Amino acid sequence: MHPRIDELIRHIDTHQADFRRAYESVPKDQRNAKPAADRWSAANIVEHVAIVNGRVAGRLAKQIADARAAGHAAESAHDPILPTIDLARVLDRSPERRVQAPDPIQPTGLDADAAWAALEKSSSALRDALASGDGLALGTLMSPHPLFGDLSIYQWAAFVGAHQGRHAAQLRELGS
């Protein structure tokens, strides 16, 4: 596997493991309860992340399949990708960085167990999509993000990991 793909899959897996620990810090009997009417429960947070991961996985899989079919260039760079991406903005949960998720990625009300199962499925699809791009110059394949503008596939993968990190912090707030 290309070092950049491996680096990004490890990044996603590291954030997912941290997300799992944060989720487990919320007592089981509180995972479906919202802390306030305008706040998400732990189950809502997990479902939101599952939705985002699934949507990104679908986008990346299609983009990579189209690029491969079109004879897209091979990856020639081997330097690490994460140091070139500013993920602090994604991880920042300060009040001025609060983001209202648009309707398509709002949780629908799955319970905690169903939300976690959806997350596992979407995360697997995301890893598979990224791995399907092995050998291609994924830094040149761009698609828009509503807050961050055009992102390459590498940047989208890095975003997904950081997005889980952002919501792990939110889960820790619920667990404390």
Closest to 9 in 3D by CA, of 49, 53, 70:
53
Q: Band the pLDDT of 176: cuts 50, 70, 90.
A: low
Per-residue pLDDT reduced to its tens digit, 117-145: 999 999 999 999 999 999 999 999 999 99
Q: Would you place residue 89 in the very low, low, confident or very high pLDDT band (cuts 50, 70, 90)? A: confident
pTM of the model: 0.94
175 pLDDT higher than 80: no
Domains of the chain and CATH, by start = 3-175 (1.20.120.450)
Mean pLDDT estimate for the chain: 94
| Percent above pLDDT 90 for the chain | 82
pLDDT tens digits, 45-73: 999 999 999 999 999 999 999 999 999 99
pLDDT at 94: 83
